[in-house]
Amino acid sequence: MKNSPAIVQQENIVSQIHFIRGEKVILDSDLAELYGVEVKALKRAVRRNIQRFPIDFMFELNKEEYDFLRYQFGTLKRGEHSKYLPFAYTEQGVAMLSGILNSKRAIEVNIEIMRTFVKLRQWLPAHKELEKKLNALEKNYNENFKVVFDAIRLLMKDDSKPKHQIGF
């Protein structure tokens, strides 16, 4: 099988991953956009197959979490956001969606989402190791190099994470 360009760029997927209740999740509205379906159709398919989505695969946001996200997204425009609380899907929940959404695009998008989650998992330990090495190097140099180390730390900062954790 030859490599074809990804249907969805990993940068777009990473920007839609949120940290809620200690989990990396993607909201139903973001998934529906990626899959090219309406949120209503996605939720309907999930509800028809709810036994496939235990709490560690998918959960519904509570009012406080949703309000916090609304605050992060800015002012809501009429017709752009659901009046119902969104579902949040973990990596396992996204994988399970591939079994109930049976379109070519859904399969291709799921593959890219799974690849993105794997890359995030691979990147985090490497990032921590780099941080340790940087701290060890900093101990060997005087105050004149503090600016250099601060600049490196700024570059290492992960901008894909939300600034505040949502939930408990």
* Of 24-28, 73-77, 82-86, minimum mean pLDDT range: 73-77
For the cut 80, the answer to whether the pLDDT of residue 165 exceeds it is no
Identify the residue with better confidence: 15 or 55.
55
pLDDT tens column, 85-112: 899 999 899 888 878 887 888 888 888 8
Sorted by where each begins, the domain ranges of the chain are 10-121
Q: Tokens representing 69? A: 């996200």
Using one digit for the tens of pLDDT, what is the confidence trace for 5-50?
566 676 778 778 888 888 888 999 889 988 888 899 999 999 999 9
Question: What per-residue confidence (pLDDT) applies to 1?
Answer: 45
pLDDT tops 50 at residue 78: no
> How far apart are alpha carbons 58 and 52 in whole angstroms?
9
* pLDDT given for residue 124 in this prediction: 63
Q: What is the DSSP letter of 62?
A: P
pLDDT band at 118 (very low <50, low <70, confident <90, very high): confident
Range 10-121 has CATH code 1.20.120: no
- Residue 47 is predicted with a pLDDT of 93
Higher pLDDT, 95 or 123: 95
Cα of first residue to Cα of last residue in the chain, in angstroms, is 44
Low-confidence winner among 20-24, 130-134, 163-167 (lowest mean pLDDT): 163-167
Element (H, E) at 20: strand 17-20
Contact residues for 145 (Cβ-Cβ < 8 A; gap 6+): 138
User: What confidence score (pLDDT) does residue 72 get?
Assistant: 66
pLDDT at position 77: 46
Greater confidence (144 vs 78) lies with 144
DSSP the chain: ------SS-HHHHHTTEEEETTEEEEEHHHHHHHHTS-HHHHHHHHHHTGGG--TTTEEEPPHHHHHHHHHHH-SPPTTTS-SSPPEEE-HHHHHHHHHH--SHHHHHHHHHHHHHHHHHHHHHHHHHHHHHHHHHHHHTS-GGGHHHHHHHHHHH--TTS-SS-B--
Cα 92 → chain centroid: 12
Query: 146 falls in which pLDDT band (50, 70, 90)?
Result: low
Give phi and psi for 84, each to the nearest 5. -95, 155
CB count in 10 Å sphere of residue 160:
15
Asked if 58 contacts 93 with a C-beta cutoff of 8 angstroms, the reply is: yes
